[in-house]
Amino acid sequence: MRRLATLGLLTLSGVAVLFAAAAGPAAAAPSCVPDGCVRVVQISGLVDPILVDFMQQAVTEANATPGTIGVVLQLDSDGVVLTDVEFDRFMLRLRDSTVPVTAWVGTGAHAYGGAAELVAVLRGSTMAPGGRIGNVGSQRLDAGTFGELFAGDRAGLRSTDVNENRAKELGVIDRISLTAGDHLVGLAGVTTQQVTDKDGNPKLEPKTVAVIAKLGLWNQLLHTAASPAVSYLLLTVGVGLLIFEFFTAGIGIAGVVGAGSFALAGYGLGVLPTRPWALVVLGVASVAYAIDTQAGIPRFWAGVGTVGWIVGSWFLFDGVDLPWLSLVVGVAGLVVAMVSGMPAMIRSRFGTPTIGREAMIGTEGVVIESVTPDGVVEIDGATWRARTNRATPLEVGERMKVAAIDGLTLEVEPIEGAAKDYREKRG
């Protein structure tokens, strides 16, 4: 228990340090030059509470900064992980902003699910050649407030995605813009100038300044942790390292890294839509793995853990996709670690090459972590997991001797004053 408490304090301290490092005075809103400015907000990944706060802050600052002509969301997203109420409120804020808000889906980028609804609501939005939009599923936004966005000719976008030309035909976007600069040129109020492109042809480019806005380091870390692939892999790493650390003496780097990974995974899973029963199955699988890890030999419980981890991983997320590569790496990595690598590491850490285990019976050593009833002892410079023999507790610093061996665990007792086994006395 002391080890777990210390581990928790280390984790909380690390989180506090990160928050302190990320804290500080907010950056002042940039001043717009005489030709005005446009805020370009780069949005990548699932639209989660971090990105929503980021976009709303950009819109608030744009409305408060004289000379700001508009806000452009440079979008590349698989969807939205907000409640329907939160999504409605957020879209009303964007749609009704005094400074116009538009979206641009660039080359190779896409807007799926709720992100496609966002593009459809924001008038003046555009796409670049090579962009995709669609796979909306059921409309999340309130139809009474925003209308039926994907009815009639657009109904196909509920299950498929289309390119920029088809999106323009359907009226989902207003224009096709090859670059972000082309998108800016088409915005009302943007000052332009004529230049020559690399082929010698005249073209317009904006004189209005584009102010790029990106997530800060801490928010970027949280946003990354809230992606399905990263949160799942962090959970897998955290579980593996914490199980390893639980069966070793003291707190090492594995425990700190494992606790940090587990904390970030917890945040990500809290943001993403997950199935509670699948999380319970993963928890049971972790306990099953821990049972055979303690024994040092993969047996029945390792099989239970493997089946449980596969089932829990497969059904973990509800409504968002876990990439196949992440699923395979997570399942295969944990199974190999728990069935093969972990028992070997535990045996190595708590074993010694200089003596056979059976020959250790009667060997004396010292307690380095209270054995009440489980703890850690040291014998000839090697640390071992230990359990009290005959219910006699031992405190740190006491001398002890080995009475029996159970797998990788030593059964120990005080050199003097151990409880008597009356079955031996009768013998």
* Phi, psi for 237 (deg, rounded to 5): -65, -45
Q: What is the pLDDT of residue 420?
A: 54
Indicate the pTM of the whole model: 0.70
pLDDT, one tens digit per residue, over 9-60 is 344 444 443 443 343 333 444 456 677 889 999 999 999 999 999 999 999 9
Per-residue tokens: 310: 């596969």
**Which amino acid is it at 267?**
Y
Query: Using one digit for the tens of pLDDT, what is the confidence trace for 276-294?
Result: 999 999 999 988 888 777 6
| CA proximity to 116, closest of 160, 175, 152 | 160
Q: What is the mean pLDDT of residues 209-226?
A: 89
> Do you find a cis peptide bond into 49, omega within 30 degrees of 0?
no
CATH number of 36-215: 3.90.226.10
Tell me what pLDDT residue 406 has. 78
Phi, psi of 305 (to 5 degrees): -60, -40
Report the pLDDT averaged over residues 99-111. Answer: 95
DSSP state of 31: P
Mean pLDDT for the chain overall: 83
Q: According to the per-residue pLDDT averaged within each range, which of 24-28, 350-354, 364-368 is highest?
A: 364-368
181, pLDDT greater than 80: yes
> Which pLDDT band, with edges at 50, 70 and 90, does 356 fall under?
low
Residue 298 has pLDDT above 80, yes or no: no
In this prediction, residue 361 carries a pLDDT of 84
Angle between helices 253-271 and 217-225 (to 10 degrees): 80
Q: Which of 177, 224, 216 is nearest to 44 (CA)?
A: 224
At the second CATH level, the architecture of 358-419 is Beta Barrel (2.40)
Question: What is the DSSP code (8-state) at residue 337?
Answer: I
Which of 28-37, 57-66, 128-137 reaches the highest mean pLDDT? 128-137
Q: Please state, in angstroms and as integers, the Cα–Cα distance from residue 196 to each residue in 190, 213, 344, 347, following that order.
A: 19, 28, 67, 71
Q: Any idea of the CA torsion for 46, 65, 102, 129, to the nearest 10 degrees?
A: -90
Tell me the average pLDDT across 393-414.
86
Instruction: Say yes or no to pLDDT of 162 above 80.
Output: yes
- With the C-alpha atoms ordered 211, 217, 222, 228, is the resulting torsion angle positive or negative? positive
**Full DSSP string of 274-323:** B-HHHHHHHHHHHHHHHHHHHHTS--HHHHHHHHHHHHHHHTSBSSSPPP
At 374 the pLDDT is 86
Q: What is the pLDDT of residue 3?
A: 44
